[in-house]
Amino acid sequence: MPFPEANDNELCIERITAFFRRIAEAGARPVAIGGDHSVTGGILQGLAAPSSRLTGGRKVALFHLDAHIDAYESIPHWLGARKSAAHWASYLVRQGQVDASRSVQIGMRGNPRTADWLGPSYELGYEVIPIERYRELGPERCIELVRERAGDAPVYITFDLDCLDPSVAPAVSNLEPAFTGFTIDEATRLLRGARGLDVIGGDVVCLLPTKDSPNQITAMVAAAIAFELIGLVADRLVA
């Protein structure tokens, strides 16, 4: 969808919200490929609107794969934006579109910016599984946690490509090369663990085509993840 205002972040988010509200009112289940992670905030404001046929007025359970929690509501972002890639996982909970008690954030890693860098998500009520905890628990237990928390809630899956190791996806917005990220096999295994949940949509974000390798491996990985999301939606619709 077009963004004629370009650098006006908040207005772009509202345009996204209006676009996806129409999709939700039609009962369609979207899979989006976006720029930075701020788009998820706009998408879920639309999909979880009171008029949504996808949620029926219920809050959304979030399955969030990322290297970062994106819940840093205490700091402004680019050009002073407050509904940005750094804030969406927080304000969606505060506004009532996302139920953090049913949601899981997984894959967080990198050099901590502060000693309590995961604190905002814990305070909101998210289940947080940093990459070290994922390695300790193993994929099957992590999948169980996602399914236990989501239950019968409408589920939205957001996949930030920086949860993958930079060797797998080098062209992303915020590389975290200091710690090994997910392999593509690990990521797809986690996604397939959501099969049968009420997946109302999803997105793949933070692809930077201008930074990709000559064979465009990151773009191909993004397409593979989008295919997995489409498969989850389709499987739910024919179940």
Condensed to tens digits (0 to 9), the pLDDT of residues 46-98 reads: 999 999 999 999 999 999 999 999 998 877 676 677 788 889 999 999 999 99
Give the pLDDT score at 113: 67
Section 107-133 average pLDDT? 91
CA–CA separation, 42 and 13 (whole Å): 5
Collapsing DSSP to helix, strand or coil, 78 comes out as helix
Task: Convert 147-180 to b/e letters by CB count within 10 Å (16 or more is b).
Answer: bebbeebbbbbbbbbbbbbbebbbbbbebbeeee
CA–CA separation, 70 and 84 (whole Å): 9
Section 122-141 average pLDDT? 97
Single-letter residue type at 122: Y
Q: Over pLDDT 70: what percentage of the chain?
A: 98
Cβ–Cβ < 8 Å for 221, 161: yes
Sorted by where each starts, the structural domains of the chain and their CATH numbers stand as 29-238 (3.40.800.10)
